[in-house]
Amino acid sequence: MTGSYPNMRMRRTRASAWSRNLHRETQLTPSDLIWPMFVTSGEDVEEPIATLPGVSRWSVDGIVARAKEAVRLGIPVIALFPNTPPDKRSDDGAEALNPDNLMCRAIKAVKDTCGEDLGVLTDVALDPYTAHGQDGLVNDAGYVVNDETVAVLVDQALNQAEAGADIIAPSDMMDGRVHAIRIALEMNSQPNVQIMSYAAKYASAFYGPFRDAVGSGGLLKGDKKTYQMDPANAEEALREVALDLAEGADSVMVKPGLAYLDIIQSVKQRFEVPVFAYQVSGEYALIEIGAREGIGDRDALLMEKLIAFKRAGCSGVLTYHAPVAAKLLGA
């Protein structure tokens, strides 16, 4: 401190809006936002998701329309997640490798329309494609096997990169998958495709609406605690991040976001790399439902939470509120 009351009045710089703006330590802009979207089959299809108020699954043409909106709003990246039809799901998740699957069709359509004006981030994991809802291959004992899953994830990542994905985001939490994907991208003439690793992904209770959105919730047998992290662990998250960076990740993600601000801050301080947070479906839904029930103003709630991610050290945030926040920021 450089003074004491009354020489130092902390309220002086808060007395007017212009001064509060001048002294604001953390800035949030539309370029800090990544907009997750759900792809479904058909044409001219919109399927509202009951557990995610205000969010829908869109057919590819609808995704393209939303992508154009993202460009208009100054949102730099969209993230795609498919709702694979039940008849295309299997125990081995083979549809993930189909170059004409929902994900690849959406990637191509967005890149054909928006080109370099918009980045496309794609999820690499098998849960949207498996009949059992797990992120990987399952053995006879019900255990999600690591190395066999990684081999499939590599092919899935290449499939998406060849379709035009700009950022590959492995969300599966298998050991060694970042290194395997990085080597495969280099060997297949895709050196500029980024990897944003879900480096610290926790076995969270906040994922329920997302699983409804991609159609895996009702299929899931058991849980994901053998590969997603224990919410009680912090040091383990730093080890996970260190490994993924050593294996070739360009950026890392902490998921979920709000309950793990301490992890975000620790990762940023320890590694000084781009860190992203996923404001997951349960976090989003709580804001929407809380506002609907009169708990608080929706816009104020969502903006306060987004600025908290930035304050903790995030380079950006994946949020279903991205278009709403971008409009508020541009107002």
Catalytic residue among 201, 268, 305, 310: 201
Give the SS3 label for residue 121: strand
The CA distance from 16 to 23, in Å, is 11
304 marked ligand binding residue = no
Give the SS3 label for residue 120: strand
**Which residues lie across from 48 on neighbouring strands?**
56
CA angle 183, 234, 232 (to 5 degrees): 120
Could you confirm whether 201 is annotated as catalytic? Answer: yes
With CA atoms as reference, report the closest residue to 329 among 24, 11, 6, 80.
24
285's tokens: 């839904």
Q: Specify whether the backbone of 93 is left (phi greater than 0), alpha (psi in -120 to 50) or beta.
A: left
Contact partners, residue 146, CB within 8 Å, separation at least 6: 136, 174, 175, 176, 227
Give the Å distances, CA to CA, from 125 to 72, 95, 140, 150, 280: 30, 12, 20, 9, 16
Contact partners, residue 47, CB within 8 Å, separation at least 6: 40, 56, 57, 58, 83
With CA atoms as reference, report the closest residue to 247 among 196, 184, 297, 178.
178
Could you confirm whether 111 is annotated as catalytic? Answer: no
Provide the 8-state DSSP code for 312.
H
Tracing tokens 């690591």 back to the chain, one arrives at: 146
Catalytic residue among 255, 268, 305, 310: 255
Indicate the annotated binding residues for Mg(2+). 240
List active site positions: 201, 255
Indicate the annotated binding residues. 240
